[in-house]
Each structure stands twice: as structure tokens, then as C-alpha cells.
């Protein structure tokens, strides 16, 4: 497959697997494929799939593998040649798995799910699956209302999955041993707390199209209550993560320091779904960070929480991390800082290595509307945080707002512009200036929030309000980003939809809709046609809901009582603030049982714990002097499909994982000081790649090679290393030529020899290369130093150019026809003895 496909598609690294940290179990009793309905670089940034991968693979009888949505170029080739969507670890087709578990992160990925099932050879509709077909389950935030997907899934897991996922796997394992029917398997799964089996419920409708009831078909089953992890310190967390070759959306060690938020922002679904607050002990966080950094080689630590600044011990934790890792140029980021929680001390610590992204989320422009949504932040706090950031050296601040919030007026829109201008003015106050990026999304009412009954503004109103903002923000020289209105409309439909949307998804997929969350792939006409053909009106789903109406998700219990949500809706109308129960009295939301399920925040014990750890984390530095090492390595097998940038990324991780005392560059984004001889073309196998690596004086050439070989993936191996003078000329300067072998199947050996002789006889052979709008012309004949033929193989020594270009010029065959030919780089000829 690789020879035929990977050179014909964009980003082959998405599909090759074999990353550092991946786990392959060829003889496991049960195979559980974790499926993410988006491309690899998005899915591999998701913490949930990393947690489940580590938990499942700890069981000797169980193999967890990964699969991601193929990009359209790969899908086209798969459909053309009848190839099945398969796992990265063992190339197991989805149809041969025991369980396929989808992460339901975003409503606009639903058509991708159907597409992946079809490509994987699994029946789209759950009712059509046989006893030995895989169990298809879903988990993640979209399970707050999974009803639009009810026709396609056997089961959903509501809430935290760390414990429940193993219970599900154990039930399936036992059912496979006993050979029970699928119906019986689903009955057994329904007995697991947090597992929702949609086929065990029947939805009834009124004549006007509303839901009259959701009836359980199994006595005692329902409402289905979400699953809770009571204590985050006891939960499994991955410290040996899979390390991608390519850059992912979040390319870093991500550590969850807390789960849940009780700030009570009335629009925020996550704030209600993940209650109560459970903080991880700082000593545990430091231990997890140390292990994860050692096993991954990342250069950034991201502390994750719905509001990282609310973590009780955030300042001493950051101080401890910086004391230990700043010398290694490892940065710390807090991607979700709430306005008002950013202190000058935090700013000073975060900026020590490099300034990671800086985002503030006021959500609404006016104090009145922020009160209505219970945001609980002041304009003064926002401007103070902005001033602190600009003073500390940040030059760009991103502001995140929503429009279309309940009760919003044109004055509230103008307040967004006014607030953004004031933030920009803080940069001028510092004397340095600063940019402001204003990002505005359309508010989507979500299930299990106080605003679940509120309407979503129409597409036309969305466009009108975006126009107002765009015009006004432009006047203040403020950058503006927004969400396309059709995408927000579709998100709203599926966020609040019911089972009748299943036929819409099937039709939309048949019309070519896929990767709907990617604006450049969104098929507006296809969705419009699908709505029309299915007789569905999107406005029906965006409308205001009656307070006594049966909602599609009412039979799913995420812990928050409807009484509490209704009270919060009423308070929003008068702007009454609901205090965070972390600092005040219990708000009575209904989540806690005050025994197992309760708020777990850090007190004095956490304080002493982190001070103890901080006292022993000061680095002992032996990083003095400098040496330069020259390494020769091989790049073979599947690794030949890695690009030059991906090789740089891989070695950056490897030197850190191997403990190589590498020196770093200076500047805004420090990186390891190493350089490659040349950029090897994707698809070329090489036995003679070279790189120079600058290390501190305690580095040893043999030790470095051995250490790297212990962490490098199969197909990349250091075969020689030596110390060279620091003032040695660079590799690119001393390379005279390169010897390649190109195997050609298109010509007979005699024809190939004849064409090679004819090419050698030429005085000149012009070649024009076009790339990214640039045209380069050079003479291939003058760049060719040697040429010989061995059967169907061309062996050539060239000074400059790509071997496939020479093969095309010699044979007269189109370059496209030769893609997939095996190319080997077997020797580099140097002008300097240090090579």
C-alpha cells in the first residue's frame, strides 16, 4: 500500500503509524479501536484519546489502537481500490475490531463518523449489524445530546470514561467468549453506570412535531446518569504518550490539573457537564510532568483545566515547574486563564522561557450582558490583565467574544468594539504598543445549560451582526475573525436535535458532505439539498423551547437538576449573580452527593506538598562549554515518507527523550542546535544521512548515538558518530555529490541501458521545476557526474537535483508515472575529510 499511495497524497505521516510511544499487540484477545472523526493532527491533540489509549493498553488481554478520518485525497484512493479504513498500529480494518469507540467532540464531525464507518466496512445503521460485528460506541461532550446519532451507535458513554471504558471492554470480552447475541450484549452494557443504549428507548412525538416522551423499553433503565471519576489523583493519566512525527494542533505535554468548574457561566456547557471541581494534587502534577517530558521530549507543558487560574495552588505550581525546567528551555502555557486570575507573579513566571499564546475571554462586551451570563468579571480586571501582558512583553492579545447571547442588543455589539479598543490602548500605555485579535463566535444554546431553552439567532441575523462588528473593528485597526454563519447554524441544529436528524446525516453524506468543520470543505449546497429532501427545517431546531417541553435529552442525567437550570435562566433575566460554590455556599445544582461525588480542592496539605517538592526541584547544571557531533544515520522503511520538517520534529523530541545534553538557540522560540546536510525528498530511502549536533562538554559521541538509538523509531538508526571542531564548515558546504539508485519497472534492462547511453551523449538537458509559483531552471546533464545501469536500476552520482527528475529525463517518461519508484541514497561524496 505504501509504495502505491503514500507518495500520491498530502502528509503521508498521517497514515504510517510507528510513532515513538505507540503500542503494538498483535496477539491481543480483544481489539478496541479508538476513532477520532477528524484528521490525525487534530485527533492526536485530544487529551481524552491519549488517556483511554494508555488505560486500555495496560491490560494484557486488550489492545487499544487508533484511527483517524482520512483526508479526501486518501479517501479517494481508498474508494478507488477498495481499501478498508484500518488502525495505525496493526492495520486492522474497523470491521475486524471488537469495539470501535468514537470521540464525539464536535457536532460538525458527524458526517465524518458515517464516512469512517462506511470506509471501515461497518454497517451504518446499528440495527443492521450482526452478532459478530464490532460494537460501535461514542463518548465525549456531544453525548450531552447524542440523539442525532442514535441510529448509528450501539451505545454511548456519558461522562468520565477512565473506569467505565474498562468495564465496557470486560463485558464485551465475556460476551464474545459466551457467544451471546447482540441484543443480550446491549442489555448487559446497559447495566454499566453511565452507558446509554439508544435502542432501549423509544421516542414519541406530538402532532406538531414536538417530543411527547422518551420511553424506556427496559424496566428500571433510565434516566441514564453520567459517570463520575470521584478523585482525579486516583485516575490513570498517560505519561508515555504517543509522540507524532508531524506537527499537531497542540504539540506539547498536556497535564490536566483540574476537572470541572463551578463559576456558573450560563452559556458554558462544559461548566455544567464536568462538575464537580476535582483538583489534582500539585505533587502528583509535578511527577506526571517529569515522566511525560522524559518519555516524550516535548518542549512545552500545558496545564489544562476549564479555568487554570482557579487551581488553588497555581502560582507555586508554576514556580516549581519553571525552577525545574526553565534551564532546559521548556515553556509552560495556561490555555484557559480566566480574566481576573492572571496575577503579575504568574506573568513573570510564564514569560521566563518563551511567551506562549495569550487569550482573554470576556465573552460579552457590556457589563450588563456579562452579568446576564454570570461571567462575573469586570472591565477593570480585563484591562489590568491586558496591561500586565503587554508590559511583560506580549505583543498580541486575542479576545474571545460571543454574539447572539440571550438579550443582546446593538449596544452590546458596540461594547465589544469599545472594549477591544481599550485593550489595545493598554499596549500604548506601556510604550511598546500591541495588537488585538478579536474572535467572535455565534452563541449556540447547548443541552444541560440554563440557556438550553433559548433560541439561536438566524443565519441572516448572524451575518448582519458580523457586518456591524467588521465595519467598526476595522476603524480601530483591530483584527477580526468570525465563524461562518452556515457552520454555526448546523452546529445549533445538531446540538439541540433529535433522532429525526439521522436521515438528514445519511442524505448529507450521500451528497458529499464531509469535514463540515473545515470551512473550505463545507458544502452549503449539499446541506441545503439534504434539508429540503428530508423535509426538515433548521429553524425548527434553532427556535425557543417551551419551558414545559420535553427536550430530546431529558432522559439523560448529567447531574444538574432541571429546577436549578430554570432558576438560573430566571436569574439571567435580571442579571442576578450566582456565586461560585467553591468560595461560597452550595448553589444546589444537584451534582454532589457529598460522599463520593463532591468538590475536591486543595487546602493546606496541598500547599505544604508543593513547597516540599519545589525545594528539591532546583536544577543542578553541568551545562558548560560546547562540542559539535557529526552523526550519520539511516532513514528506511516507512520512515522514508517523513518530510524534512517532520524529521526535524522527530529529532527534536528524540534528543530530549534520550537525555542528550543538547545546546539550544536563543530568541523567542529556542530550539535544539542541530542541522542536516540536505533535505531528503519524501519517499527516498537513505543509508547515509548526516546531521551536526551541538552539545555541552559532558556529551560523548558514542553515548549520544547509543542513547538516540534507544528512542528513535524503527527505520531511523544512528550508524556512526564523531566529534568535530566547532568551527568546521557546515555539511551543505562540503558535499560535492550524492550517489542514488533508482529502480525502474517501466523499461526493460536493454531499453534502459540504451536510453542511459543516449543521455550521457547529450551536451545539455534542460529541466524546469515549478514550486509555489517559483520557476527554477538547471541543466541536468551538467549536474550528472556518473551514470550506470544494473539490470532495471539506474545508479547515478549527481551534484544537484532530485534523482526522479534525472530518471524522467533519461527515460523520457513523465515524472508522474515514475512516482512510487524505489529510490535509495547510498553515498554522500564530501570535499572535506570530516564528512
Q: Phi and psi dihedrals of 734, rounded to 5?
A: -95, 0
- Looking at the structure, tell me whether residues 312 and 276 fall in a common domain: yes
The CATH number that applies at residue 687 is 3.30.70.580
- The mean pLDDT value for 365-392 works out to 92
Q: What is the pLDDT of residue 833?
A: 58
Q: What is the pLDDT of residue 615?
A: 45
Residue 558 lies in a domain: no
| pLDDT surpassing 90 at residue 668 | no
- Looking at the structure, tell me whether residues 724 and 742 fall in a common domain: no
Select from 419, 448, 483 the last residue of a domain: 483
- Looking at the structure, tell me whether residues 366 and 443 fall in a common domain: yes
Q: Phi and psi dihedrals of 377, rounded to 5?
A: -125, 150
| Tens of pLDDT, residues 561-589 | 999 999 999 999 999 999 999 887 899 99
| Tens of pLDDT, residues 237-253 | 999 999 999 999 888 99
Residue 621 lies in a domain: no
In the chain, how many domains are there? Answer: 5
Residue 46 lies in a domain: yes
Structural domain that includes position 689? 627-728
Select from 587, 615, 643 the last residue of a domain: 615
- Looking at the structure, tell me whether residues 216 and 283 fall in a common domain: no
Q: What is the DSSP letter of 163?
A: T
- Looking at the structure, tell me whether residues 632 and 672 fall in a common domain: yes
What Cα–Cα distance (Å) separates residue 689 from each residue in 158, 710, 717, 825, 827? Answer: 50, 18, 10, 8, 9
Cβ(393)–Cβ(351) below 8 Å: yes
- Identify which of 554, 575, 576 has the alpha carbon closest to the alpha carbon of residue 448: 554
**Left (φ > 0), alpha (ψ -120 to 50) or beta: where does 278 sit?**
beta
| pLDDT surpassing 60 at residue 780 | yes
Residue 79 lies in a domain: yes
| pLDDT surpassing 50 at residue 608 | no
Residue 159 lies in a domain: yes
Question: pLDDT tier at 48 (50, 70, 90 boundaries)?
Answer: very high
Select from 671, 701, 728 the last residue of a domain: 728
**What count of other Cβ atoms lies within 10 Å of the Cβ of residue 745?**
9
- Looking at the structure, tell me whether residues 61 and 182 fall in a common domain: yes
Question: pLDDT tier at 669 (50, 70, 90 boundaries)?
Answer: low
**What's the rounded Cα separation, in Å, for the pair 75 and 83?**
9
| pLDDT surpassing 50 at residue 604 | no
Question: pLDDT tier at 835 (50, 70, 90 boundaries)?
Answer: low
Q: What is the pLDDT of residue 667?
A: 62
Q: What is the pLDDT of residue 95?
A: 98
Average pLDDT across the chain, whole number: 92
- Looking at the structure, tell me whether residues 363 and 477 fall in a common domain: yes
Q: What is the pLDDT of residue 414?
A: 96
Residue 524 lies in a domain: no
The CATH number that applies at residue 92 is 3.40.50.280
Q: Cell triple for residue 589?
A: 445544582
Q: What is the pLDDT of residue 606?
A: 43
Question: pLDDT tier at 670 (50, 70, 90 boundaries)?
Answer: low
| Tens of pLDDT, residues 410-462 | 999 999 999 999 999 999 999 888 899 999 999 999 999 999 999 999 999 99
Provide the percentage of residues in the chain whose pLDDT is more than 70. 95
Q: What is the pLDDT of residue 2?
A: 44
| pLDDT surpassing 50 at residue 619 | no
- Looking at the structure, tell me whether residues 722 and 741 fall in a common domain: no
Residue 514 lies in a domain: no
Q: What is the pLDDT of residue 569?
A: 98
- Identify which of 128, 127, 103 has the alpha carbon closest to the alpha carbon of residue 116: 103
Burial of 681 (0-12, 13-18, 19+ CB in 10 A): middle
- Looking at the structure, tell me whether residues 46 and 175 fall in a common domain: yes
The CATH number that applies at residue 375 is 3.30.750.200
- Looking at the structure, tell me whether residues 647 and 675 fall in a common domain: yes
**What's the rounded Cα separation, in Å, for the pair 696 and 332?**
24
- Looking at the structure, tell me whether residues 383 and 346 fall in a common domain: no
Q: 622 versus 9: which is more confidently predicted?
A: 9
Residue 510 lies in a domain: no
Q: What is the pLDDT of residue 803?
A: 95
- Looking at the structure, tell me whether residues 215 and 317 fall in a common domain: no
| pLDDT surpassing 50 at residue 749 | yes
What is the maximum alpha-carbon separation in the chain?
Answer: 91
Burial of 596 (0-12, 13-18, 19+ CB in 10 A): exposed
Amino acid at each position: 500500500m505504501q509504495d502505491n499511495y503514500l507518495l500520491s497524497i498530502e502528509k503521508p505521516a498521517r497514515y504510517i503509524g510507528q510513532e515513538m510511544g505507540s503500542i503494538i499487540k498483535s496477539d491481543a484477545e480483544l481489539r478496541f479501536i479508538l476513532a477520532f472523526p477528524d484528521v490525525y493532527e487534530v485527533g492526536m491533540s485530544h487529551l481524552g484519546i491519549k488517556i483511554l489509549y494508555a488505560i486500555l493498553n495496560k491490560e494484557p488481554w486488550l489492545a487499544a489502537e487508533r484511527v483517524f478520518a482520512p483526508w479526501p485525497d486518501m479517501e479517494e484512493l481508498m474508494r478507488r481500490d477498495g481499501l478498508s479504513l484500518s488502525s495505525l498500529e496493526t492495520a486492522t480494518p474497523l470491521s475486524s475490531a471488537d469495539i470501535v469507540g468514537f470521540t464525539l467532540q464536535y457536532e460538525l464531525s458527524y458526517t465524518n463518523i458515517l464516512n469512517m464507518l462506511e470506509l471501515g466496512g461497518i454497517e451504518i445503521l446499528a440495527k443492521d449489524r450482526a452478532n459478530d460485528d464490532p460494537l460501535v460506541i461514542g463518548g465525549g461532550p456531544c453525548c450531552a445530546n447524542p440523539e442525532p446519532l442514535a441510529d448509528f451507535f450501539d451505545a454511548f458513554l456519558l461522562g468520565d470514561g477512565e473506569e467505565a471504558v474498562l468495564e465496557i471492554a470486560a463485558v464485551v470480552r465475556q460476551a464474545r467468549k459466551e457467544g451471546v447475541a447482540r441484543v443480550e450484549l446491549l442489555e448487559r452494557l446497559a447495566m454499566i453506570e453511565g452507558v446509554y443504549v439508544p435502542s432501549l428507548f423509544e421516542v414519541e412525538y406530538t402532532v406538531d412535531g414536538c417530543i411527547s416522551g422518551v420511553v424506556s423499553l427496559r424496566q428500571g433503565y433510565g434516566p441514564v446518569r453520567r459517570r463520575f471519576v470521584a478523585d482525579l489523583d486516583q485516575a490513570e493519566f498517560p505519561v508515555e504518550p504517543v509522540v507524532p512525527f508531524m506537527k499537531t494542533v497542540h504539540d506539547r505535554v498536556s497535564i490536566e490539573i483540574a476537572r470541572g468548574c463551578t463559576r456558573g457561566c450560563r452559556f458554558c456547557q462544559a461548566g455544567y457537564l464536568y462538575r464537580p471541581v476535582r483538583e489534582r494534587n500539585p505533587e502528583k502534577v509535578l511527577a506526571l510532568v517529569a515522566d511525560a517530558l522524559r518519555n516524550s521530549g516535548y518542549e512545552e507543558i500545558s496545564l489544562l483545566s476549564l479555568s487554570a487560574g482557579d487551581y488553588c495552588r497555581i502560582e507555586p505550581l508554576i514556580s516549581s515547574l519553571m525552577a525545574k525546567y526553565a534551564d532546559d528551555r521548556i515553556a509552560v502555557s495556561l490555555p484557559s486563564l480566566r480574566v481576573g486570575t492572571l496575577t503579575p507573579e504568574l506573568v513573570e513566571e510564564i514569560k521566563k522561557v518563551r511567551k506562549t499564546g495569550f487569550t482573554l475571554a470576556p465573552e460579552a462586551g457590556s457589563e450588563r450582558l456579562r452579568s446576564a451570563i454570570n461571567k462575573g468579571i469586570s472591565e477593570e480586571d480585563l484591562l489590568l490583565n491586558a496591561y500586565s501582558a503587554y508590559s511583560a512583553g506580549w505583543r498580541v492579545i486575542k479576545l474571545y467574544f460571543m454574539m447572539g447571547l440571550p438579550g443582546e442588543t446593538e449596544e452590546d455589539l458596540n461594547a465589544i468594539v469599545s472594549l477591544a479598543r481599550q485593550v489595545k490602548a493598554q499596549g500604548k500605555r506601556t510604550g511598546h504598543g500591541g495588537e488585538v485579535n478579536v474572535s467572535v463566535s455565534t452563541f449556540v444554546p447547548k443541552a444541560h445549560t440554563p440557556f438550553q431553552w433559548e433560541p439561536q439567532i438566524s443565519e441572516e441575523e448572524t451575518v448582519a451582526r458580523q457586518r456591524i462588528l467588521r465595519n467598526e473593528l476595522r476603524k480601530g485597526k483591530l483584527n477580526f475573525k468570525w465563524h461562518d454563519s452556515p457552520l454555526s447554524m448546523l452546529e445549533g441544529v445538531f446540538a439541540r436535535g433529535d433522532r429525526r436528524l439521522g436521515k438528514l446525516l445519511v442524505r448529507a453524506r450521500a451528497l458529499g458532505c464531509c469535514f463540515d468543520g473545515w470551512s473550505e470543505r463545507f458544502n452549503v449546497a449539499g446541506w441545503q439539498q439534504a434539508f429540503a429532501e428530508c423535509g426538515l427545517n433548521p429553524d425548527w431546531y434553532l427556535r425557543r423551547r417551551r419551558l414545559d417541553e420535553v427536550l430530546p435529552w431529558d432522559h439523560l442525567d448529567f447531574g444538574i437538576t432541571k429546577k436549578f437550570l430554570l432558576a438560573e435562566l430566571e436569574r439571567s433575566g435580571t442579571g442576578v449573580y450566582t456565586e461560585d460554590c467553591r468560595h461560597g455556599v452550595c448553589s444546589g445544582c444537584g451534582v454532589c452527593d457529598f460522599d463520593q461525588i463532591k468538590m475536591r480542592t486543595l487546602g493546606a496539605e496541598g500547599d505544604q506538598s508543593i513547597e516540599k517538592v519545589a525545594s528539591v526541584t532546583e536544577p543542578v547544571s553541568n551545562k558548560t562549554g560546547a562540542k559539535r557531533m557529526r552523526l550519520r544515520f539511516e532513514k528506511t522503511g516507512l520512515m522514508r515518507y517523513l518530510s524534512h520538517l517532520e524529521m526535524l520534529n522527530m529529532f527534536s523530541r528524540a534528543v530530549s527523550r534520550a537525555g542528550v545534553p543538547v545546546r539550544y538557540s536563543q530568541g523567542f522560540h529556542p530550539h535544539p542546535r542541530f542541522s542536516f546536510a540536505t533535505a531528503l525528498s519524501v519517499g527516498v530511502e537513505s543509508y547515509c544521512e548526516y546531521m551536526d549536533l551541538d552539545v555541552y562538554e559532558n556529551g560523548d559521541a558514542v553515548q549520544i548515538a547509543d542513547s538516540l538509538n534507544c528512542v528513535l523509531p524503527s527505520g531511523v538508526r544512528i550508524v556512526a558518530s564523531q566529534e568535530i571542531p566547532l568551527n568546521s564548515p557546515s555539511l551543505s558546504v562540503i558535499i560535492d555529490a550524492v550517489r542514488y539508485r533508482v529502480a525502474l519497472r517501466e523499461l526493460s534492462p536493454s531499453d534502459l541501458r540504451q536510453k542511459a547511453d543516449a543521455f550521457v551523449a547529450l551536451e545539455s538537458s534542460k529541466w524546469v521545476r515549478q514550486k509555489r509559483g517559483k520557476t527554477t531552471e538547471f541543466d541536468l546533464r551538467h549536474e550528472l557526474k556518473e551514470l550506470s545501469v544494473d539490470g532495471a536500476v539506474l545508479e547515478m552520482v549527481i551534484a544537484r537535483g532530485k534523482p526522479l527528475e534525472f530518471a524522467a529525463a533519461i527515460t523520457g517518461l513523465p515524472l508522474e508515472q515514475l512516482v512510487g519508484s524505489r529510490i535509495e541514497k547510498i553515498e554522500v561524496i564530501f570535499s572535506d575529510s570530516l564528512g
